[in-house]
Amino acid sequence: MQLGIIGLGKMGGNMRTRLRRAGHDVVGFDTDPTLTDATDLADLAAKLDAPRAVWVMVPAGDATRQTVAALADVLSDGDIVIDGGNSRFSDDAPNAALLAERGIGYIDAGVSGGVWGLENGYALMVGGEKKHVDTMMPIFDALKPPGEYGFVHAGGVGAGHYAKMVHNGIEYGLMQAYAEGYELLKASEHVENVPAVFKSWREGTVVRSWLLDLLDRALEEDPNFDALTGYATDSGEGRWTVEESIRLAVPLHAISASLYARFESRQDDSPAMKAIAALRNQFGGHAVKELGGGHAVKEHGGGQGTDSGTSGDSPS
């Protein structure tokens, strides 16, 4: 089958390679002249035989929306566009409607697999009309891992990106649990070889997973993570998952907490923790650290019931 791919970065470039290995004819476009097979989107469309299919793998948001709008001008009735980026599911209906005005089909595809997808295959969660999904199944089959797992037609337009959003929200929670377990093991006076503990969990335990395998790999490379700082960004899906939990009144305790932990990681000196320290000092006279020439610990007797150093709330 023939396919155009727009965006040949780590994911898009590897997808092009995997599809070519499976015997598909792939024409890629990228702004990097060392990677591209076409000079622009019009040239990409000209290099494809009708009915054409084009897979978009560019950053979510404006870049994807602009690319979809540009494709509406160079593609024709009967063609199909697939958005395989991490777009918010709410972008899919407007994209589909814009393309439908020209008779162009639309599929949203949540893609998981990262840089390992080239060899292992990509988990695909797609949304769209059945006739469009059926048309693209040879491509999906080549990209997904071998076997019965790794692909789902989740529903109509938007369902693929919605499923991927929830997938990434779960991923946040799993990573946070592994990370907290790591920190507790490091703090313990009983465990002498923390990396070995994680390695032992890779077989025969209920917590084994690909994420655990990757954590073990990271610990082999840097057992104490000395080369890293404790700063974690978020790419949006965790926030969107929590927003949906609020809209639908579905409690997401672990996923919400993991998102907030990422926010906390970006604070060198947490304002919230400063407020907590101040309150503990006010009601309980607990020691605080003040910034001066160094960190000086000073006792203050602020608040009710602090003459004895305790109050009804002092354990907080």
Q: Which residues are catalytic?
A: 164, 171
218-262 per-position pLDDT tens digit: 999 998 888 888 878 877 888 999 999 999 999 999 999 988 888
Question: Are residues 119 and 92 in contact, defined by beta-carbon separation less than 8 angstroms?
Answer: no
Give yes or no: residues 275 and 234 share one domain: no
For residue 80, the domain's CATH number is: 3.40.50.720
What phi and psi values does residue 182 have, to the nearest 5 degrees?
Answer: -60, -45
What phi and psi values does residue 46 have, to the nearest 5 degrees?
Answer: -70, -25
**Which pLDDT value is given to residue 270?**
66
Percentage of residues of the chain with pLDDT beyond 90: 74
**Which pLDDT value is given to residue 308?**
36
121-149 per-position pLDDT tens digit: 999 999 999 999 999 999 999 999 999 99
**Which pLDDT value is given to residue 272?**
67
Which two structure tokens, joined as six digits, stand for 92?
Answer: 């899919």
Give yes or no: residues 15 and 138 share one domain: yes
**Which pLDDT value is given to residue 237?**
87
Give yes or no: residues 8 and 153 share one domain: yes
Give yes or no: residues 83 and 185 share one domain: no
Give yes or no: residues 77 and 203 share one domain: no
**Which pLDDT value is given to residue 316?**
47
Give yes or no: residues 173 and 49 share one domain: no
Give yes or no: residues 250 and 285 share one domain: no
pTM of the prediction?
0.85
Chosen domain end from 157, 175, 194: 157
**Which pLDDT value is given to residue 307?**
37
**Which pLDDT value is given to residue 246?**
93
Angular region, 203: left φ>0, alpha ψ -120 to 50, beta rest? beta
Give yes or no: residues 112 and 237 share one domain: no
For residue 173, the domain's CATH number is: 1.10.1040.10
Spans in the chain with pLDDT lower than 50? 293-316
**How far does the chain reach from its first CA to its final CA, in angstroms?**
64
Give yes or no: residues 14 and 140 share one domain: yes
What stretches of 134-285 adopt beta strand conformation (E)? 151-155
Q: Sheet holding 151-155: strands in order across?
A: 25-29, 2-6, 53-56, 80-83, 105-112, 123-127, 151-155
**Which pLDDT value is given to residue 291?**
62
Chosen domain end from 94, 124, 157: 157
Question: Are residues 85 and 57 in contact, defined by beta-carbon separation less than 8 angstroms?
Answer: yes
Q: How far is Cα 125 from Cα 153, in angstroms, rounded to an integer?
A: 6
46, 48, 49, 50: CA torsion to nearest 10: -80
Domain, as residue range, for 228: 164-265
Scanning the structure block, which residue is given the tokens 């579905």? 250
Give yes or no: residues 49 and 179 share one domain: no
Query: Mean pLDDT over all residues of the chain?
Result: 88
How many domains is the chain partitioned into structurally?
3
Specify which residues 290 forms β-bridges with.
Answer: 296
Chosen domain end from 106, 133, 157: 157
Give yes or no: residues 52 and 107 share one domain: yes
Give yes or no: residues 141 and 198 share one domain: no
Q: How far is Cα 223 from Cα 204, in angstroms, rounded to an integer?
A: 23
